[in-house]
Amino acid sequence: MALLIETGLSDWISDNDIADGIRKLHPDADVRTPDNLGDPADITMLAVVDLQDDHPNRLPNLKLVQKLGAGVETIVSNPNLPEHARIARLKPDAPAQGIAEWFVAYVLRHQRHMPFHEAAQTRAEWSPKAPIYSPDTKVGVLGLGHIGARSAKMLRAVGFEVMGWSRSPKQIDGVTCLHGDAALPELLGQCDHICAILPSTPQTVGLFDARMLAAMKPGSQLLNAGRGDLIDEAALIAALDAGTPGHAVLDVTSTEPLPQDSPLWAHPGVTITPHVSGWHLGDALADVGENFRRLSTGAPLLHEVDKARGY
């Protein structure tokens, strides 16, 4: 039984750094990296950012794919993943805190007219403009899971009126929680900012089409930190041109990196951040090592994904 770390990413964190971190926490664990793979038949657990199409075929005894992050859509939909293979994700505090901060930052950017004041300064121009009063501002959070619930609470603590939306009913102090497809247009029509932190599933892909964008409050702001495929980007550009919504802040796009010729880059109603809202993994490596131990002993896994539900 061995754990293989294969992220394929060198600009974030190296496979060897992750492997060393896990070995420190679990000195007896057999942790390998692609440059020290040994017999592929030993590998029972694979830790990845994205599962490659050929991974399952290369690793005949794979039992668990551990996502080094939260979004598991490319793993769930991998046609080569055997039926018996399980999937787990991470639920660390650090990215949840980071994404909640990202939502707060870009809502406040609008409330405090930051682009307006920065532009006025370049002209040495003293131009007072009343900030938008927080208690008069309604913010909707789509997805009330690990990250969304934390975001809703942080936005509430700043002083906004907060509504939330999920698949199943939720209760969060101070937050008006709605659920189910029928409730979404009602929420969209009331909110000045919509903060989307939904997983990519067959139900959420393309959810923000022309009809749903038109259901938003005129001039409102759409912020997306979940997955880019939530939004039909051509429909978004047409909707921004029509003024509903008034602005979009996108940390995720349907193709990443966003191609240089994408019209989103230059659109005056779009702000792009390059998938940085939930950067830090925090103490999540401990859960990867712990899941390897649990897989080896048959104990219930941490944060196992419901493959049928897709998240």
Closer CB to ligand NDP, 10 or 168, in the complex: 168
The least distance separating ligand NDP from the CB of residue 158, rounded to whole angstroms, comes to 19
- Cα(282)–Cα(311) distance, integer angstroms: 21
How crowded is residue 28: how many other Cβ atoms within 10 Å of its Cβ?
7
Least separation in angstroms between CB 227 and ligand NDP: 5
293 classed as catalytic: no
Pairing between strand 86-88 and 64-67?
A: parallel
Please check whether residue 76 is in contact with residue 87, taking contact to mean a CB–CB distance below 8 angstroms. Answer: yes
77 to each of 100, 232, 310, how far by Cα in Å? 28, 20, 8
List of residues 6+ apart from 104 with CB closer than 8 A: 154, 155, 158
The active-site residue, picked from 86, 275, 293, 303, is: 275
- By beta-carbon proximity to ligand NDP, the closer residue of 29 and 141 is 141
Shortest reach from residue 2's CB to ligand NDP, in Å: 27
| Closer residue to ligand NDP (CB): 2 or 107 | 107
- Least distance (Å) between residue 24 CB and ligand NDP: 25
Residue nearest to ligand NDP (CB): 145
Q: Is residue 118 classed as helix, strand or coil in its secondary structure? A: helix
Interface residues with ligand NDP (CB under 6 A) are 69-71, 95, 143-148, 165-168, 197-201, 203-204, 225-227, 251-252, 275, 277-278, 311
Pick 170 or 293: Cβ nearer ligand NDP? 170
227 is catalytic: yes
Q: Would you tell me how many other CB atoms lie within 10 Å of the CB of residue 92?
A: 21
Q: What residues are labeled active site?
A: 227, 275
